[in-house]
Amino acid sequence: MKKFDLIGLARRNLWRRKLRTILTVLGVLIGTTSIVVMLSLGIGLNNSQRKMMESWGSLTTIRIMQGMVFDDEGNPQGQSKSLNDDAVAEIRGIEGVLAVCPAYELYGDVRLGRKSGGLSLIGIEPELMGQLEFAPSHGRLLEKGDRNAVVVGSKVIEGLFDEAERRQMERGTFDFESGEEKDPGEMMNQRLALTVENMGGKRKTYNFMVVGVLAGDDIEYSYQALAPIEEVKRIRHFSLTGQSGGGGAFSPNVMDLGGAKAGRGRREDQTNDYSYILVKTAGVEHTPAVSQQIKDLGYDSWSVADALEGIEKSSRTVQAVLGGIGAVTLLVAALGITNTMIMSIYERTKEIGIMKVIGATFSDIYLLFLVEAGLIGFVGGLFGIGFSYGISKIINYFTGSFFGMFWGDESMGISLIPPWLALFALLFAVLVGLLAGLYPAYRAVRLSPISAIRNE
């Protein structure tokens, strides 16, 4: 018997008992829908959490800070290591590291046109901005050889206010929510005047030209400005001069000078130590291992991927539980397929006997029942996937606004059906149908042709 003839014969046999076949397919449909929707909830939640964490910063960037390294119990491990050029060279030698960028950070008062406010200025190496995944929405990034140039975050303009707005804030009448959204492009090609105060109370103003605005609204850099590291180092050197106690400029290094080395009985010059070091890894899969190696070297490091690893473990547990619940429903559908095929054998006993007498082989009979069971699984799985997409859209429609309050994006639904999940569900439904048809097919093959023909 030709294989294509088997498929046509199987289809006709199933359609002879329409109601029973439809009910059996309905069982597979419900089972497939259950397992797909359950898994989609776990995948969607994981994807939403991942996108939310990406807004905190890059998943392939590690930040190394000044400070002591502590174990899981909160006990200090050894001496805090300085973030200097030796540290940069040591970290650059770790496998999986693409780029190492030292950074200085300081804080000062800024004026942009008629608007003013406070701003954190970061000094980095201009040629590394591309590798660190910075991208401009307006203008350009910093380039090697730039002087007095600055690239600002997209939210910097929201922290700058003119005199009228400041008076409203002082009176408590300024409405932060009803104000018009400020266009970050307005900052382009404007002079940004940064005023810092050193430890002796002396103030000095440094002028920069805004050459670019960073794309994206990530929390890490959208409210900061970036300038060439040598320019920021020069400003930082001024902020550290003068007599202590004069107060003024914010500098993490001023607070830490010599503190980490005090346990050694002498103070070492740390005035040129970096505020932090950024490390770019070869990929998200390398980030946890590189971060751990950095900690093993005695540095205090943090990355978004560290938190993501724990979330993904929890997500896999949730997916396993939800998938198990859906699998139980599909198992019940498999029992329905088995029952349908066994009942079909009893009703078609004489037909099976005639097929054997006229030359049908055991493999033909066996394949016929397997194809019928597989068709039930295929049709039920196909319709189940269609229903799953519909239910997923309904879930996202009603939950989008609620979760949008937390994630800031109503389009981030909690149910996500990737193509691989739909394909897996269809293949799994067919496999369940084939497995459910094994025993009925075996029963059909073992029927005696003579006994089958005599059966009424």
Least confident of 16-20, 288-292, 340-344: 340-344
- Strand, coil or helix: what is 118? strand
**150 and 243 belong to one structural domain:** yes
Q: Is residue 217 part of a domain?
A: yes
pLDDT at position 192 is 94
**274 and 337 belong to one structural domain:** no
- Higher pLDDT pick, 406 / 25: 25
Q: Is residue 96 part of a domain?
A: yes
Asked whether the beta carbons of 407 and 308 are under 8 A apart, the reply is no
Q: Tokens 């591309």 label which residue?
A: 130
pLDDT at position 264 is 39
Q: Which of 261, 282, 303 is the last residue of a domain?
A: 282
Amino acid at 266: R
Least confident of 60-64, 197-201, 246-250, 338-342: 246-250
Q: Is residue 302 part of a domain?
A: no
Contacts with 237 (C-beta within 8 Å, 6 or more apart), sequence order = 271
pLDDT at position 71 is 59
pLDDT at position 53 is 60
**408 and 341 belong to one structural domain:** yes
Task: Give DSSP secondary structure letters for 393-422.
Answer: HHHHHHHHHHHHHHHS-TT--S----HHHH
- Strand, coil or helix: what is 447? coil
> Could you list the residue range(s) of the whole structural domain that residue 118 is in?
61-282
Residue 41 has pLDDT above 80, yes or no: yes
**75 and 135 belong to one structural domain:** yes
Q: Is residue 301 part of a domain?
A: no
Give me the mean pLDDT over the 27-42 stretch: 86
Residue 36 CA to residue 327 CA, distance in Å, equals 9
**186 and 334 belong to one structural domain:** no
Q: Is residue 299 part of a domain?
A: no
Which of the residue ranges 41-50, 61-70, 153-162, 325-334 has the most confident prediction, judged by mean pLDDT? Answer: 153-162
- Strand, coil or helix: what is 189? coil
Q: Is residue 143 part of a domain?
A: yes
Task: Give DSSP secondary structure letters for 241-296.
Answer: -S-TT----B-HHHHHTTGGGGGGTS----TT--SEEEEEES-TTTHHHHHHHHHH
Residue 49 has pLDDT above 60, yes or no: yes
Chain segment 315-347, per-residue pLDDT in tens: 777 777 877 877 787 778 788 878 777 777 666
pLDDT at position 210 is 94
The two tokens of residue 55 are 């807004």
Nearest to 377 by CA among 17, 2, 14, 12: 14
Chain segment 169-212, per-residue pLDDT in tens: 777 766 666 556 778 888 999 999 999 988 888 999 999 999 99
**189 and 48 belong to one structural domain:** no
**328 and 264 belong to one structural domain:** no
**260 and 385 belong to one structural domain:** no
Residue 13 CA to residue 437 CA, distance in Å, equals 14
Confidence of residue 258 (pLDDT cuts 50, 70, 90): very low
pLDDT at position 255 is 37
pLDDT at position 395 is 86
Chain segment 67-109, per-residue pLDDT in tens: 655 556 656 555 667 888 889 999 998 998 989 999 999 999 9
**318 and 421 belong to one structural domain:** yes
Task: Give DSSP secondary structure letters for 54-81.
Answer: HTTS-TTEEEEESS--B-TTS-B-SPPP
Residue 2 gets which letter from DSSP? -
CB pairs under 8 A, 24+ apart, for 6-12?
Answer: 6/364, 6/367, 6/368, 6/371, 7/371, 7/375, 9/368, 10/368, 10/371, 10/372, 10/375, 11/375
Total structural domains within the chain: 2
Residue 312 has pLDDT above 90, yes or no: no
Q: Is residue 291 part of a domain?
A: no
- Higher pLDDT pick, 289 / 316: 289
**48 and 159 belong to one structural domain:** no
pLDDT at position 423 is 93
Compute CA distances 445 → 112, 224, 340, 359, 452, whole Å: 87, 76, 17, 13, 11
- Higher pLDDT pick, 314 / 110: 110
Q: Is residue 203 part of a domain?
A: yes
The two tokens of residue 291 are 């971060």
Q: Which of 239, 263, 282 is the last residue of a domain?
A: 282
Q: Which of 263, 282, 301 is the last residue of a domain?
A: 282
pLDDT > 90: percent of the chain: 22
Sign of torsion, CA 443 449 451 452?
Answer: positive
**51 and 77 belong to one structural domain:** no
Chain segment 383-428, per-residue pLDDT in tens: 999 999 999 888 888 776 665 555 555 555 678 888 998 998 899 8
Residue 266 has pLDDT above 50, yes or no: no
Determine how β-strand 136-139 pairs with β-strand 203-214.
antiparallel
**272 and 129 belong to one structural domain:** yes
Confidence of residue 162 (pLDDT cuts 50, 70, 90): confident
Mean pLDDT over the full length of the chain: 78
Nearest to 122 by CA among 32, 42, 191, 224: 224
